[in-house]
Amino acid sequence: MAIFDSKGRLFGKINILDLGAALVILLVIVGIFFFPGTSGSVAQVGSKTVPIEVDLAVRGLNVRDPERLFDNGFKKGGKTNVIIRNQPYGQIGIKSVQTLDRTILATQPDGSVKEVKDPRSNNFSTDMLLTLEGKALATPDGPVLGNSKVKIGMPFELEGYNYNFNATVIDVRLQNK
């Protein structure tokens, strides 16, 4: 008696292709239940949670009255919702908010250029320097908030009761590193 017959069956009873498919399915099931992968994201392996401070620059925020923005919780000691790379992170504390004066460059009679305060009264553009504080995972590649690495130059979207605008990271400081 031959091992394979003319129709490709093993010992005349089992098709070799069916046997191969059954072995693959069995190996996948064994691999899933007996050798599961690591849990958690790759960014969390070998990392610890540390306090973080992130400085943000807001340039040209069009707002009629910046004080109304501060009346509804966007102030020192408040909290704001942060969205990083279209991924909601959650709330993070506001350590400081500093409104920067708008300036223009004025040419002087001697040909030099001087920076002076913008005299226009109808300018509804505001610049701010913000410092946010929270907890981040310290990884070898840098700090991670949620599932996003925090790096200088990346945009943060800030959202609250009466605002939604973008800011750019200009400094990242980890505490107790």
Q: Residues 77-91, buried b or exposed e (16+ Cβ, 10 A)?
A: eeebebbbeeeebee
What pLDDT, on the 0 to 100 scale, is given for residue 7?
Answer: 75
**8 A C-beta contact, residue 169 and residue 150:** yes
- In this prediction, residue 56 carries a pLDDT of 93
Q: What are residue 105's DSSP bridge partners?
A: 115
Output the pTM of the full model: 0.66
Q: Say which amino acid occupies 27.
A: L
Integer CA distances (angstroms), 25 to 33, 43, 112, in order: 13, 31, 78
Structure-token pair, residue 59: 């340039």
CA distance 80 to 53: 14
pLDDT of residue 43: 47
pLDDT means per 10 residues in the chain (177 residues)? 72 80 92 71 64 91 81 81 88 89 88 88 83 89 86 90 89 81
* pLDDT at res. 23: 93
Residue 60, CA distances (Å) to 88, 137, 168, 176 in order: 24, 31, 12, 34
